């Protein structure tokens, strides 16, 4: 029984991280129609910047994390200016390539800056555990849950209540009309890139203390999160969160009890089956910018 | 827009070899002819592009130039690598450039082809090389058929993700399936290629085999380019709904091209296996998958010569950058960004446009609009 | 287009000519009359995702020491480097050929066995002695399809490491219930299977065998499966090792874990600290800092002083590779590759000749030179102490 609780808790924590990553992805997609190949590397970059501020610069945790997130936001804007704004008139595939190029550059930069040796980021809540029904759940995972939940709710509020959110939804529904109605696509795009990068950075900061940070850290997360986004419906935030939870729990529970060696392939298999069965796209066709 | 293909000379991008491609369009029509006989002037898209001549010219040029230019071991190796990657990229051109399906599984097909060929030719009573290569192509075509049929309705990015998922699962399965692949996914001791009793062992010998195979693959692609299948594929790619309503068997065309492209990938994988003597899952990892995509992108999605140009850049670039290994990733990414910003349809297209301006106007077909593809 | 026989034979002739020219190495039978060029096939930090500086630094230290003492037979060593990508076998083969084009006397390196395996046909053809620093996996054994008469392996074979780990767990830690963990790709899978077989030979079955994805951040199910074991043997990379160790402690399981060089990297980079670290053991060729051997320790301290980093055994082996090359060239008396090849097969390199990471290096039937494995334990301060060293008998050549 305690194994079940431990696995479920792990699954929920994983789901929370995936939701955070997938939402970062989705925010950008809804606002600009861009599939950001560089998202995984942004996660890695966020984690490394976190290590730099806390371990190398010696800042205390909260200022260090805040600084990291701010820097990530700026990097997001930079990517928008370089890889998106000049390509606005081009087909979407070209923008995807540009984000891929950005991913390669980010990777190269991290490689030169930090090298190949993995770095550690200490957990801000320490390495202790909470005992729940006989299972030990690390404080860091609980932190992930709490922060993840806050972030998701905050995002939902932003999208429902604020002007920015309305503009993003308008752009998502009908770009031309939105522009005619006065939505400033340029600023919305910059804000969306910044927000997406900040979410990626936050995800990196949360997951890093679980293990260590190295170059491929974010890529695997991005792929799994993409599976979650596709599963849950690429259009709605709520669906993405649900998809992330399902993937996280499935991977942990099914991986724990059934054929554990192949656990890493489960998201891939689920993805394939979903796409085979519901190929019309799990989102509004008219919205498709691909 | 016009289908004119004037002569285009392309400079090599690697320091080790130069290749030239020729395209000549000799069908001309004068205004007089248009006025005299309108029906004859309104011809179907021009198939007088001299594909076969261009392929022959290409093969002859490479056969003459490469052995002279590439004398050091490493450059011979790079030339062979260029040739074999071109085959894989050509397959990807069929799938992505023509059929418009972004398939992320070309490396999986290469791996599968390589392993199949290794398995069939293994041991004392193993089959000869050509059986191995043929089996590799057949098996990969079948797998592509199954996968393609399962996700036939998936569009664009979803198709990419689905094929990526296939690659992920496939690589893990190859690791486990020791009996088929080898201990821990590594097939070792693969025999060098043999044809009619002649063994291709040294890089200089393998060069001829690869060049010949690439020539055959180019012929196959040329046949497709000259057939109605090309029009159907492009119509299906650009607007599937309208094409379907106009009588094009959209899914069938895309499936056939997917199978053919994957078969070429399997062939490339088999050639790599026999040439290197050993393959493992690391030989075909995701960097190569992204690389094949970039090859097509850089070289040009719209032309069948694009994959060759892109493969040359992909193979030659690390050599050019070898002094600054540390920053090579950054330079690579920036270059990619620059190409994307400045040359939207790749190098082949840029060259074509440049040549258009150079070649005199009388080669232009006037007043008859055709869809540019 | 069909191959034209005349041209083909011309090409063949050219290839043969190139091969002949490439293999001479610039020396004469009579003696050595010019600086000795060695090329290292490794990367330095930043060149790829797996690049570390250890190989380059260790070799440079050896070259400097030798040159300061007069070089080899009066000639200085010139050490050049070509970055060989450990993650991309085809690219590594191309880079190997670049190194061959430099015309060295001896080549050192390849840091990954997959790269060496992929380049084997080219190694055969180049005819330049290669002292490999990659891990000694069984496909590389001389006599088998992956072996070659032109390379020798400096690392103790994976089999030795596995057996040493099992011996230590059973004899020193007195464990009968042993759990196995590893990554689900070739490194992890190969070694978990080998250790399971070694355990079976002693009549033991593992408590559980779990292979997981190297990018996993949650290994709860694998960690919980190890409940009840007295020792865990792990074949993994530094990141998942850190995750694993932390989760063991979090779940209240104080079980010693024996890993390989990942343990060093994890400890040196403070990926694991405190209690989790005190339960960690590493199986390596030697422990440069913390070794019982004063020469090895001196090397480690010198490295630490110069480069501000704790060296792994890879740096020490790179250092030793240079000394092995020196001993072979001295025995051969010239830079002729065939003479060096014969010398490599016949010499025994001892600590008096400058090596520090093994009791001696002597080529066995499989072209493996190192038969010493040491086990270290890590303390909470991150430093390691050597617990014990094991000596192993020579490996035979593979058949067919």
CA-CA-CA-CA torsion sign (C111, C115, C117, C121): negative
Whether the pLDDT of residue C88 is over 70: the answer is yes
Residues B8, B352: Cα–Cα separation, whole Å: 6
**Could you tell me which residues of chain A have a Cβ less than 8 Å from any Cβ in chain C?**
3, 6-7, 10, 13-14, 17, 111-112, 115-120, 127, 129, 136, 138, 207, 210-217, 219-221, 252, 255-257, 260-261, 263-264
How far apart, in whole angstroms, are the C-alpha atoms of residue B58 and residue C186? 41
Count CB-CB contacts under 10 A for residue A258.
Answer: 10
Half-sphere exposure of C202 (CA within 13 A, CB side): 18
pLDDT (tens digit per residue) in C240-261: 898 888 888 888 888 999 998 8
Coil, strand or helix: which one is C71? coil
Nearest CA in chain B to C11: B204
Strand, helix or coil for residue C307: helix
CA distances from B114 to B83, B110, B184, B209 (A): 16, 6, 15, 16
CA A25/CA A42 separation, integer angstroms? 11
Across the interface, whether the CB atoms of A230 and B161 are under 8 A apart is answered yes
| Residue A250 CA to its chain's centroid (Å) | 19
Within A116-262, residue ranges assigned H as helices are 139-161, 163-173, 175-180, 185-207, 217-232, 237-249, 255-257
| CB < 8 Å to A21, chain C | none
Rounded Cα distance, C78 and C63, in Å: 8
Contacts of B79 in chain C (CB under 8 A): none
pLDDT per residue as tens, chain B (373 positions): 334 333 333 333 333 333 433 333 444 455 565 566 655 554 455 555 678 888 899 999 999 998 888 888 888 899 999 999 999 999 999 999 888 888 889 999 999 999 999 998 887 777 888 889 999 999 999 999 999 998 887 777 778 888 888 998 898 888 878 778 877 777 887 888 888 878 888 888 889 999 999 999 999 999 998 888 888 888 888 887 888 888 888 888 999 999 999 999 999 999 999 998 888 888 888 888 888 988 888 888 888 888 999 999 888 887 777 766 667 778 878 887 887 778 777 777 777 777 777 765 444 444 434 334 3
Cβ of B78 within 8 Å of Cβ of C15? The answer is: no
Q: Note the pLDDT of residue B18.
A: 38
What pLDDT, on the 0 to 100 scale, is given for residue B133?
92
B54, B59, B77: best to mutate for the C interface, most C CBs within 10 A: B77
Chain C positions in Cβ-Cβ contact with residue B76 (cut-off 8 Å): 15, 97
Q: Which of A90, A68, A85, A83 is nearest to A37 (CA)?
A: A83
Q: What pLDDT is stored for residue B173 in this prediction?
A: 86
Question: Whose structure tokens read 């103790």?
Answer: C156
For residue B39, the model assigns a pLDDT of 57
Tell me the shortest Cα–Cα distance from C382 to chain A, in angstroms. Answer: 14
Give pLDDT tens digits for A138-186: 888 888 888 888 988 888 888 888 888 888 878 777 778 888 888 888 8
Q: What local confidence, expressed as pLDDT, does residue B47 receive?
A: 53
The distance of B48 to chain A (nearest Cα, Å) reads: 31
pLDDT, tens digit, 9 for 90 and up, residues A50-108:
998 888 888 888 888 999 999 999 999 999 988 888 877 777 677 877 888 888 888 88
The arrangement of strands across the sheet holding C280-284 comes to C209-212, C178-183, C231-235, C257-259, C280-284, C372-378, C384-391
Nearest CA in chain B to A273: B162
CB B150 within 8 A of CB B165: no
- Look up residue C363 and give its two tokens: 């080529």
Smallest CA–CA distance from B192 into chain C, residue:
C121
Q: Residue C271: closest CA among chain A residues belongs to which residue?
A: A120
Contact call for residues B338 and B39 (beta carbons, < 8 A): no
Contact status, residue C91 vs residue B318, Cβ threshold 8 Å: yes
Contact between B86 and B315 under an 8 Å Cβ cutoff? The reply is no
Tokens for B110, please give them. 């290469």
CA distance A122 to C163: 35
Residue found by looking up tokens 């993003």 in the block: A168
Q: How far apart are CA C265 and CA C287, in angstroms?
A: 12
What does the block give as tokens for C227? 């409940």
C 49-78 residues with CB < 8 A to A? 49-52
In this prediction the pTM is 0.81
B287 and C88 within 8 Å at the Cβ level: the answer is yes
Q: What is the pLDDT of residue A48?
A: 92
Sign of the Cα torsion A197, A203, A207, A209 reads: positive
Name the residue in chain A with its Cα closest to that of B146: A276
Show residues of chain B in contact with A279, CB under 8 Å. 151-155, 158
Quote the tokens at residue C266: 């994890």
Give yes or no for a contact between A87 and A98, defined as CB atoms under 8 angstroms apart.
Answer: yes
pLDDT, tens digit, 9 for 90 and up, residues B88-130:
999 999 999 888 888 889 999 999 999 999 998 887 777 888 8
B241 touches chain A (CB under 8 A): no
d(CA B52, CA C226) in angstroms, rounded, equals: 65
Note the pLDDT of residue C400.
Answer: 55
Q: Which one of A105, A228, A278 would you mutate to disrupt binding with B, by most B Cβ within 10 Å of its Cβ?
A: A105
Segments of chain B assigned E as strands: 194-195, 198-199
- Those chains having 3 or more beta-carbon pairs within 8 angstroms of chain B are A, C
Residues C38-58 pLDDT 10s: 999 998 876 776 778 889 999
Dump pLDDT digits (tens) for B152-187: 877 777 788 888 889 988 988 888 787 788 777 778
Cα within 13 Å of Cα(C360), Cβ side: 12
Which tokens in the block code for residue C50?
Answer: 């797996």
Task: Collect all residues with Cβ–Cβ distance below 8 Å to B36 and sequence separation of at least 6.
Answer: none
**Is residue C369 within 8 Å of C363, Cβ to Cβ?**
yes
Q: Is the dihedral of CA C242, C247, C250, C251 positive or negative?
A: negative
Select from A22, A33, A97 the residue whose CB has the most chain B CBs within 10 Å, as the one to mutate to test that interface: A97
Q: What is the CA radius of gyration of chain C?
A: 22
CA distance B357 to chain C (A): 33
How many interface pairs between B and C have CB atoms less than 8 angstroms apart?
135
Across the interface, of A14, A111, A129, the residue whose CB is closest to C250 is A129
Please give the average per-residue pLDDT across C263-274, as a whole number. 82
Between CA C117 and CA B189 the distance in angstroms is 10
Residues C153, C397: Cα–Cα separation, whole Å: 13
Query: Using an 8 Å Cβ cutoff, are C339 and C333 in contact?
Result: yes
Structure tokens at A254: 């099914």
Nearest Cβ partner for C213 among A14, A256, A263: A263
Please indicate whether residue B181 or residue C168 has the higher confidence score (pLDDT).
Answer: C168
Taking the Cβ of residue C220 and every Cβ of chain A, the question of whether any pair is shorter than 8 Å is answered with: yes
Other Cβ atoms less than 10 A from the Cβ of C5: the count is: 9
Q: How far apart are CA B35 and CA B42, in angstroms?
A: 11
pLDDT digits (tens, 9 = 90+) for C269-310: 788 888 888 889 999 888 888 788 888 889 988 998 998 888
- Establish if B81 touches chain C: CB-CB under 8 angstroms: yes
Quote the minimal CA–CA distance from A269 to chain B in Å. Answer: 7
User: Is the pLDDT higher at C315 or at C50?
Assistant: C315
For residue B175, the distance in angstroms to the closest alpha carbon of chain C comes to: 7
Residue C262 half-sphere exposure toward CB, CA atoms < 13 A: 23
E strand intervals along C304-383 = 348-349, 361-362, 372-378
Question: What is the DSSP-derived secondary structure letter of residue B128?
Answer: P
CA distance B93 to C9: 34
Tens of pLDDT, residues C377-393: 888 776 778 888 888 88
CA distance B288 to chain A (A): 14
CA dihedral B143, B145, B147, B149 (to 10 degrees): -160
Task: Of A252-266, B207-221, B333-347, C89-103, give the lowest mean pLDDT range.
Answer: A252-266
Q: What is the DSSP letter of B3?
A: -
Residue of A nearest to C181 (CA): A261
Q: Say if the Cβ atoms of A210 and C224 lie within 8 Å.
A: no
Strands annotated E in chain C: 36-41, 77-82, 106-109, 130-132, 151-153, 178-183, 209-212, 231-235, 257-259, 280-284, 348-349, 361-362, 372-378, 384-391
Distance from CA of C210 to the nearest CA of A (A): 7
Q: What chains are in contact with C, requiring at least 3 Cβ pairs below 8 Å? A: A, B
Question: Pick from C216, C143, C122, C32: which is nearest to C367 by CA?
Answer: C143
DSSP conformation class of C368 = B
> Within 13 Å, how many C-alpha atoms sit on residue B18's CB side?
8
Instruction: Supply the DSSP symbol for C72.
Output: B
Identify the pLDDT of residue A158.
84
Q: Which of B135, B122, B134, B136 is nearest to B191 (CA)?
A: B122
pLDDT computed for residue C20 by the predictor:
38
Question: Can you tell me which residue has the tokens 């026999």?
Answer: B274
pLDDT band at A242, cuts 50/70/90?
A: confident
Instruction: Report the percentage of chain A scoring pLDDT > 70.
Output: 91
What gap in Å lies between CA C83 and CA B42, rounded to an integer?
Answer: 59
Q: Which of A222, A275, A262 is nearest to A26 (CA)?
A: A222
Taking only the tens place, the pLDDT of each residue in A16-55 is 888 888 888 888 888 887 888 899 999 999 999 999 888 8
Measured between CA atoms, the residue of chain A closest to residue B346 is A94
Distances (CA, A) of C270 to B138, B225, B342: 51, 59, 46
What gap in Å lies between CA A150 and CA A43, rounded to an integer? 19
Phi and psi torsions of C284, nearest 5°: -145, 175
Instruction: Check residue B210 and give its pLDDT.
Output: 93
Within 8 A by CB and 6+ apart from C338, the residues are none
Could you tell me the pLDDT band of residue C218, with boundaries at 50, 70 and 90? confident
Q: Does the beta-carbon distance from A260 to C243 stay under 8 Å?
A: no
Interface of B with A in 115-174 (CB under 8 A): 150-159, 161-162, 164-166, 168-169, 172
pLDDT value at residue B359? 63
Q: Any idea which residue has 């041209």 for tokens?
A: C7
Cβ distance B74 to C144 less than 8 Å, yes or no, reads no
Asked if the C-beta of B283 comes within 8 angstroms of chain C's C-beta atoms, the answer is: yes
Whether the per-residue pLDDT at A287 is higher than 50: the answer is no
Torsion angle of alpha carbons B148, B154, B155, B160, nearest 10°? -60
- Best CA proximity match to B238, nearest among B254, B219, B261: B254
Give the residue among A196, A188, A280, A193 at the shortest CA–CA distance from A233: A280
Residue B80's pLDDT is 92
- Which phi and psi angles does B58 have, rounded to 5°? -60, -50
Quickly tell me which residue has 């303390």 as its tokens: C379
Residue C352 backbone class (left: φ over 0; alpha: ψ -120 to 50; beta: rest):
alpha
Q: Using pLDDT thresholds of 50, 70 and 90, give the confidence band for residue C133.
A: very high
């Amino acid at each position: 029984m305690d194994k079940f609780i431990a696995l479920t808790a792990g699954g929920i924590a994983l789901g929370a991280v995936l939701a955070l990553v997938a939402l970062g992805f989705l925010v950008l997609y809804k606002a600009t129609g861009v599939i950001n190949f560089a998202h995984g590397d942004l996660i890695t970059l966020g984690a490394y910047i976190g290590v730099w501020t806390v371990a190398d610069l010696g800042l205390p945790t909260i200022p260090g994390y805040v600084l990291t997130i701010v820097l990530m936001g700026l990097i997001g804007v930079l990517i928008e200016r370089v890889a998106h704004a000049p390509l606005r008139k081009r087909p979407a595939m070209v923008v995807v390539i540009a984000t891929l190029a950005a991913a390669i550059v980010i990777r190269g930069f991290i490689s030169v800056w930090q090298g190949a040796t993995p770095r550690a980021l200490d957990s801000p809540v320490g390495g202790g555990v909470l005992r729940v029904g006989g299972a030990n759940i690390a404080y860091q995972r609980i932190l992930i849950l709490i922060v993840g939940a806050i972030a998701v709710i905050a995002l939902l509020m932003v999208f429902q209540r604020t002007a920015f959110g309305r503009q993003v939804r308008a752009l998502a529904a009908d770009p031309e009309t939105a522009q005619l109605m006065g939505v400033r696509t340029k600023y919305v795009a910059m804000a969306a890139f910044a927000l997406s990068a900040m979410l990626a950075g936050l995800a990196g900061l949360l997951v890093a203390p679980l293990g260590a940070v190295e170059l491929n850290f974010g890529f695997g997360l991005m792929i799994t999160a993409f599976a979650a986004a596709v599963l849950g419906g690429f259009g709605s935030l709520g669906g993405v969160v649900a998809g992330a939870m399902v993937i996280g729990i499935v991977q942990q529970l099914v991986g724990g009890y059934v054929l554990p060696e192949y656990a890493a392939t489960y998201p891939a298999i689920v993805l394939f089956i979903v796409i085979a069965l519901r190929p019309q796209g799990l989102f509004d066709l008219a919205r498709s910018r691909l | 827009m016009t289908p004119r293909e004037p002569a285009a000379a392309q400079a090599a991008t690697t320091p080790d070899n130069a290749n030239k491609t020729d395209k000549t369009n000799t069908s001309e029509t004068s205004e007089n002819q248009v006025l005299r006989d309108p029906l004859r002037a309104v011809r179907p898209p021009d198939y007088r592009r001299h594909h076969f001549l261009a392929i022959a010219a290409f093969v002859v040029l490479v056969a003459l130039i490469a052995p002279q230019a590439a004398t050091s071991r490493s450059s011979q190796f790079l030339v062979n690598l260029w040739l074999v990657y071109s085959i894989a990229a050509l397959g990807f051109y069929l799938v992505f450039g023509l059929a418009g399906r972004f398939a992320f599984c070309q490396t999986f097909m290469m791996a599968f082809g390589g392993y199949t060929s290794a398995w069939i030719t293994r041991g004392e009573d193993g089959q000869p090389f050509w059986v191995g290569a043929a089996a590799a192509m057949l098996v990969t075509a079948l797998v592509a058929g199954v996968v393609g049929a399962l996700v036939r309705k998936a569009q664009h990015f979803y198709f990419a993700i689905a094929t990526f998922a296939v690659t992920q699962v496939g690589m893990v399965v190859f690791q486990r399936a020791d009996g088929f692949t080898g201990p821990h996914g590594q097939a070792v001791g693969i025999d060098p290629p043999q044809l009619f009793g002649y063994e291709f062992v040294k890089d200089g010998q393998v060069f001829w085999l690869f060049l010949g195979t690439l020539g055959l693959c180019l012929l196959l692609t040329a046949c497709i380019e000259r057939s109605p299948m090309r029009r159907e594929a492009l119509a299906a790619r650009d607007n599937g709904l309208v094409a379907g309503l106009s009588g094009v068997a959209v899914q069938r065309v895309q499936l056939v091209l997917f199978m053919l492209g994957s078969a070429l990938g399997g062939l490339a994988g088999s050639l790599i296996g026999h040439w290197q003597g050993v393959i493992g899952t690391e030989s075909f990892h995701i960097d190569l998958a992204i690389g094949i995509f970039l090859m097509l992108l850089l070289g040009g999605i719209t032309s069948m010569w694009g994959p060759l140009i892109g493969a040359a850049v992909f193979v030659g670039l690390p050599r050019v950058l070898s002094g600054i290994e540390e920053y090579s990733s950054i330079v690579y990414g920036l270059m990619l960004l620059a190409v994307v910003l400045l040359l939207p349809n790749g190098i082949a297209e840029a060259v074509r446009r440049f040549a258009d301006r150079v070649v005199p106007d009388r080669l232009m077909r006037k007043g008859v609009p055709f869809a540019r593809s | 287009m069909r191959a034209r026989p005349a041209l083909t034979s011309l090409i063949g002739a050219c290839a043969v000519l190139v091969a002949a020219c490439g293999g001479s190495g610039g020396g004469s039978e009579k003696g050595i009359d010019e600086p000795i060029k060695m090329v290292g096939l490794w990367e330095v930090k930043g060149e790829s995702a797996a690049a570390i500086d250890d190989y380059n630094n260790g070799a440079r230290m050896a070259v400097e020491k030798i040159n300061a003492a007069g070089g080899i037979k009066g000639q200085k060593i010139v050490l050049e480097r070509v970055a060989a990508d450990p993650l991309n076998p085809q690219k590594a083969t191309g880079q190997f050929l670049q190194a061959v084009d430099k015309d060295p006397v001896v080549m050192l390196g390849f840091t990954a066995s997959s790269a060496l395996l992929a380049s084997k046909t080219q190694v055969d053809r180049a005819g330049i002695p290669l002292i490999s620093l990659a891990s000694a996996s069984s496909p590389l054994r001389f006599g088998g399809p992956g072996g070659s008469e032109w390379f020798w392996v400096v690392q103790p074979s994976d089999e030795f490491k596995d057996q040493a780990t099992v011996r230590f767990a059973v004899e020193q830690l007195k464990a009968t219930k042993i759990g196995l963990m590893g990554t689900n790709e070739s490194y992890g899978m190969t070694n978990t299977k080998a250790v399971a077989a070694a355990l079976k030979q002693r009549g033991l079955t593992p408590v559980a065998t779990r292979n997981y994805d190297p990018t996993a951040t949650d290994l709860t199910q694998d960690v919980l499966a190890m409940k009840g074991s007295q020792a865990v043997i792990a074949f993994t990379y530094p990141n998942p090792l850190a995750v694993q160790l932390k989760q063991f402690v979090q779940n209240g399981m104080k079980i010693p874990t024996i890993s390989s060089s990942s343990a060093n990297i994890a400890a040196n980079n403070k990926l694991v600290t405190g209690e989790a670290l005190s339960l960690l053991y590493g199986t390596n060729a030697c422990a440069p800092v913390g070794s019982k051997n004063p020469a090895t320790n001196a090397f480690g301290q010198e490295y630490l002083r110069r480069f501000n980093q704790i060296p792994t055994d890879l740096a020490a082996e790179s250092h030793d590779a240079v000394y092995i090359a020196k001993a072979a060239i001295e025995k051969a008396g010239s830079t002729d590759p065939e003479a060096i090849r014969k010398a490599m097969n016949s010499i025994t390199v001892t600590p008096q000749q400058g090596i520090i990471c093994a009791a001696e290096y002597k080529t066995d039937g499989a072209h493996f030179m190192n038969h010493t494995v040491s086990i270290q334990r890590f303390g909470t301060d991150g430093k390691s102490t050597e617990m014990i060293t094991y000596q192993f008998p020579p490996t035979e050549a593979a058949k067919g």
